[in-house]
Amino acid sequence: GGKRRQVKVIHGDKPQSERNKAMEDFKAQKVSLLVATDVAARGLDLSSIGLVIQSDPPRDIDTYTHRCGRTGRAGRSGEAVTLLDAKSGRLASGLVDLLTEAGQSDSIPSWLRGQATRSLEEDMKINAGSLATQVDSGSDDDVHNEEFSQQDFRRTAAEGSYGVGKDTSYRSFEDDAYSDDLDVDMSDIVSDENFDIDEQNLAGDQSSVEDDLVTSERMQPSEELLRAIADINGSTISGMPDKAVLNALSRRSQKLRFEYIGLFPFQDVSPLLMTSSAKDSKDDRIKILMVAEKPSIAKAIADSLSGKRGANQRRGISRALPVYEFTTDRFAPVNGQRCLVRVTSVVGHIYSLGFDFDSQNNKDQRTDPRDYFTLPVTKKEESTTSKLRVVDHLKALAGDSSHLVLWLDCDAEGENIAHEVIAVCRRAIFSKASSLGDDATRVHRAKFSAITPKALQDSFSSLEEPDPHLSKSVDARQELDLRIGVALTRLLTWKCVGIARQRFSSSTRMISYGPCQTPALSFCVDRLREIESFVPEIYWKIDLQAKLPDGNSYSLKWRVPTDDAVIDTRSKRGDGNEEGATFSHQSARELIERAKCADLIVKQVTQTSQSILPPNGLNTVALLEAGSKAMGMSPKTVMSVAEKLYSAGFISYPRTETTRYDPNGFDARSLLREHCSSAEWGKSASYLLRTRKTSKPPNRGKDCGDHPPITPLKAANRGNVGGGAAWRVYEYVVRNFLGSLHNDLQITRTKALLALSDSDEAEFEIELVTVDSLGFADACRWVLRDVGAVQGKVDKDLLQEGQRLKLVKAGIEEKKTMPPRFLQEHELIRLMDTNRIGTDASMAVHVSNIVDRGYVMLVDETGVALRPPRPPSERKNNLPRQIGRYMVPTPLGSNLLKLFGHEEDATEIESPALLSHPSIRRQMEQEVKEIAMENIEKDFCLEKNLDWFEKRYTELERSLTYERVGKFGQGLRSSNDYLRYLAKLGAFEPKINTPNKGKQTKQPQQKKHNGTKKRQNYNHKSKKGNMKGRTKNKAHRAPTKPF
């Protein structure tokens, strides 16, 4: 009950408020134990911490030093305990160096020395794959010294080579990724003989390391090690390491193995450690390195290509990236020779683009925003890539490989990642080819769109060459977005962020501009302008219902004269008018009076047959629209779920613009067989196999030359895919696929014209939609609702000319025209696709950005902010269901575009208002596409676009006067006040107050009081006292009837 809680936990997924509270309690010693991730590795200055335990060892000595530094502060002593495992070789090496430098080599245990050799083995492999690759623009000597150094701690390392300030720039990326000729002198290339491991070259190359690891005399082995060796060979430790003993200790205990290694000089034990490398050097099999985009895809590739024997899995330099090995003779480029294939992966982009401040000693904070148009840029290692050691991992595998096969995604972003892999591995691959005197193609590209054995095997048998021009187009887009976005963001933040914090939100960190983000925001603001300028008008809505011969009541449509018709301004439909609505009150009243004392006569009946085509193949934009419109999910969530389904092999690649199936290579029948046993849609799949020639898919849709449409690859139920959002996306993909192969939906529209019995003029009409053949609606049931099909069986001849029908309802309602609704996410996606704002891979991110950065808020149809998704166990049953995902610009978002002059007519080519105009981004995307098509050079595209944007920057900077920024601030207000203002304009649907189901009404509690006091109140002689007693007694009468 009253026991004090002793533990607090902080990590990156916890809200900042909870982390701050945990730190306050720990600092105040309300709790004695704090469990934390690396968020607590730096910046904690608490002198009271006496013990630090690192249960998960860090990957580098710098992080280790920072973690240990949380104790022993302010002149106090402290203890630090680190739990090492068998994979902590790199940290062990750093610890040995650190202790040796501190003069504490005598205290280094032999098992720690032995474990440090693991890092040396890795470095030798990495260096073999690095060759002449330069990571920065310094001198060759500097590169050599940094490349082979084992030390990365602050007292000895050069500035910028450790911690958060570490220079990860890759300034020779263009040469390594795109050059046809690496122009490497053969004298600088490490030959095959240099790769062979023997005692002589190890002793020479690792002399500095040997000095650290070798002691003048052998350390005393532990009793446990002596007993283990006695059990193995019945003797004691000999003068030289024994391979049999080493292998036996590896099976018994890794710690004993490391201790045994640490007892010997490095040059004596290294040949035993490198036997696998030596064996590889004598292996006559051609070695092939295959690289996929994700570990799961690498495993699928290995399983599909390795045959019945399967692939062996082993650990590489990176713990997160397994390596799968198998032997094959089906590698076409080498004409059936035996090959050793190694399959591994990256984790997305290896490098990102950033400004190269270090090259010119520039400081980011002091740079004029205009300078970002001209500052040098360079590729830099992604933080995740650096943490997982992806570059080292690839270099080590490329060191003795002769061929590189790239299995990255087959879109522009995938091609760019492929050339990042080429930049890391190419020098090693090409130097191997040069030493062999072989001019054959060494870098290959695998093109595939599905993670199925057949698709992967077909791709393996028809390898292509990488496309550098497509990759360069991505580089150009990245550089344009970086330069333009940073320059304008810095300018806007510099001028406006202070007043935004005061008037809008104190948490506003910056005012950003994005070449895709801002035009996307402009669509939402344009709709806001329509709403604010809308002037409501009064009109009258007629509601008439007639009873048909089948006994059911149907609504009638009043054929309003054109002059009095009301335009449907709410939904902005293409057909224009709202049904049964008029601006003439007199004609509406007269019609109702006549209808009350007359019947309806059927004057004319017409029937029209209609065929509705099935949907095309599913592309990315259609999937995002369906997810937002029908599933209630954000585009970013839909894309994330689809990518997980793709990685798990349930659907094909989800990023594509194509909606047409390949008439020659698409095998629909094999996919349909997968789904015949499904309880959900098995009948539809079986019907297609029996009755339709699905061997040749329908010739509809658009072929954009990228991936084929999104299709399901294997059958699954709700439990297989994980339920929830994953199941909804998977179900839609399957149903759209089945529908696209199906027959047309056949319907009959029966339209009857009716007149009141006191007139011959047909003033009303009624339409019944009956289904003749379900066709694709058998799988896509939602289509029946869209076409207005009547539920149940309805006779086509239900209505006949001359029939007399009874009116069962005749009403009139006064209304006001409503402004258009705000854009929903799926409508914004469609507008972005039409105007070429972003790509199918980035549109969902841009939509998410304008929400996350506070320029747009997501609300339902009543104007209430959307609640974040919660697990079913945490959902409250009494909360009303939220309908719609409407994008309402915040005061910050709408006033930001005013700074550009967006409300003005941006027709002049020199106007800053064009910065937010969609046509500019569309033109930029077209020119970037021309790079991929080899019509223009990358440098020309960059120069032309940057010159135009720099001129607009100058004009915008000149226009941001003190008065204009002040006006920007005056337009800011809280989002809640803004929503109330928009509700008064009629921008949202009215809220319907419904009783909360299951909510108990709290009964008023009766106060217990002294009976004497109660009697005194009633017996009080004053009128006031008497009334007080009666009032009090009345208040205590609680209702006894249950609700």
How would you write 730-748 as a 3-class SS string?
A: HHHHHHHHHHHHCCCEEEE
Tell me the average pLDDT across 281-298: 85
In this structure, of 4-8, 133-137, 210-214, 380-384, the range with the lowest mean pLDDT score is: 133-137
* pLDDT tens column, 486-535: 999 999 999 999 999 999 988 888 999 999 999 999 999 999 999 999 99
Confidence (pLDDT) at 948: 93
Residue scoring higher pLDDT (489 or 49): 489
Q: Is residue 977 scored above 80 in pLDDT?
A: yes
Residue scoring higher pLDDT (57 or 709): 709
Reference 404, options 415, 392, 394; nearest CA is 394
> What's the burial of 700, exposed, middle or buried (CB within 10 Å: 0-12/13-18/19+)?
middle
581 and 562 Cβ atoms separated by less than 8 Å: no
Reference 602, options 409, 805, 404; nearest CA is 805
* pLDDT tens column, 429-473: 877 665 555 556 789 999 887 777 888 898 999 999 999 999 999
Tell me the average pLDDT across 586-613: 88
If residue 308 lies in a helix (H) or strand (E), which one and from where to where? Answer: none
Tell me the average pLDDT across 851-864: 92
Confidence (pLDDT) at 359: 56
Each residue of 363-377: b (16+ CB within 10 Å) or e? eeeebebeebeebeb
State the CB neighbour count (10 A cutoff) for residue 201.
14
> What's the burial of 690, exposed, middle or buried (CB within 10 Å: 0-12/13-18/19+)?
exposed
Token pair for 59: 């990957």
Each residue of 498-535: b (16+ CB within 10 Å) or e? ebbeebbbeebeebbbbbbbbbbbbbbbbbbeebeebe
- Give percent above pLDDT 90 in the chain: 27
State the CB neighbour count (10 A cutoff) for residue 672.
21
Chain position carrying tokens 């330099």: 317
* pLDDT tens column, 690-705: 876 566 778 888 888 6
531 and 819 Cβ atoms separated by less than 8 Å: yes
CA 971 to chain centre: 33
Confidence (pLDDT) at 196: 42
- Give percent above pLDDT 70 in the chain: 78
Confidence (pLDDT) at 618: 92
In sequence order, what are the beta bridge partners of 326?
341
> What's the burial of 867, exposed, middle or buried (CB within 10 Å: 0-12/13-18/19+)?
exposed
Confidence (pLDDT) at 874: 55
CA distance 510 to 753: 62
Confidence (pLDDT) at 473: 94
Confidence (pLDDT) at 18: 79
Reference 867, options 853, 854, 880, 856; nearest CA is 880
* pLDDT tens column, 706-727: 778 999 988 888 888 888 889 9
Confidence (pLDDT) at 66: 76
Token pair for 256: 């004993």
State the CB neighbour count (10 A cutoff) for residue 584.
16
Phi-psi label, residue 413: left if phi above 0, alpha if psi -120 to 50, beta otherwise = alpha
Confidence (pLDDT) at 577: 74
Q: E strands of 631-756, at which residues?
A: 745-756
Half-sphere exposure for 113 (CA within 13 Å, toward CB): 28
In this structure, of 251-255, 320-324, 641-645, the range with the lowest mean pLDDT score is: 251-255
Give the pLDDT band (50/70/90) at residue 390.
very high
Give the pLDDT band (50/70/90) at residue 785.
confident
Q: Is residue 346 scored above 90 in pLDDT?
A: yes
Q: E strands of 491-599, at which residues?
A: 538-547, 553-555, 557-558, 565-567, 577-582
Confidence (pLDDT) at 361: 53
Q: Is residue 391 scored above 80 in pLDDT?
A: yes
In this structure, of 241-245, 889-893, 1019-1023, the range with the lowest mean pLDDT score is: 1019-1023
Q: Is residue 422 scored above 80 in pLDDT?
A: yes
Q: E strands of 248-376, at which residues?
A: 286-292, 312-314, 323-328, 339-345, 351-355
Tell me the average pLDDT across 636-665: 87
Give the pLDDT band (50/70/90) at residue 225.
confident
Confidence (pLDDT) at 211: 45
CA distance 146 to 139: 11
* pLDDT tens column, 546-585: 888 888 888 888 888 878 888 877 776 545 677 888 888 8
Confidence (pLDDT) at 24: 82
In this structure, of 132-146, 175-189, 356-370, 653-667, the range with the lowest mean pLDDT score is: 132-146
938 and 472 Cβ atoms separated by less than 8 Å: yes
CA distance 564 to 585: 10
Reference 900, options 522, 510, 334; nearest CA is 522
Q: What is the pTM of this model?
A: 0.74
Give the pLDDT band (50/70/90) at residue 215.
very low
Residue scoring higher pLDDT (97 or 686): 686
Please report the sign of the dihedral spanned by the C-alpha atoms of residue 164, residue 166, residue 172, residue 176: negative
CA distance 582 to 578: 9
What's the 3-state SS for 573-619? CCCCEEEEEECCHHHHHHHHHHHHCCCEEEEEEEEEEEEECCCCCEC
AA letter at 5: R
Please report the sign of the dihedral spanned by the C-alpha atoms of residue 494, residue 499, residue 502, residue 503: negative
CA distance 577 to 562: 9
Q: Is residue 812 scored above 50 in pLDDT?
A: yes
748 and 610 Cβ atoms separated by less than 8 Å: yes
**Which of 16-20, 255-259, 404-408 is predicted most confidently?**
404-408
In sequence order, what are the beta bridge partners of 888?
857
* pLDDT tens column, 64-113: 777 777 777 767 778 888 888 776 766 777 787 777 777 777 777 877 77
AA letter at 489: T
Confidence (pLDDT) at 298: 92
Q: Is residue 643 scored above 50 in pLDDT?
A: yes
Token pair for 82: 């680190």
3-class DSSP state for residue 856? strand
In this structure, of 3-7, 238-242, 310-314, 355-359, the range with the lowest mean pLDDT score is: 3-7
Reference 466, options 294, 325, 338, 291; nearest CA is 291
Reference 520, options 807, 744, 853; nearest CA is 853
AA letter at 892: L
Q: Is residue 854 scored above 60 in pLDDT?
A: yes
Give the pLDDT band (50/70/90) at residue 383.
confident
Mean pLDDT of the residues in the chain: 79
> What's phi and psi for 391, nearest 5 deg?
-65, -45
> What's the burial of 557, exposed, middle or buried (CB within 10 Å: 0-12/13-18/19+)?
middle
Summarize the chain as % helix, strand, coil (round to 5).
45, 15, 40
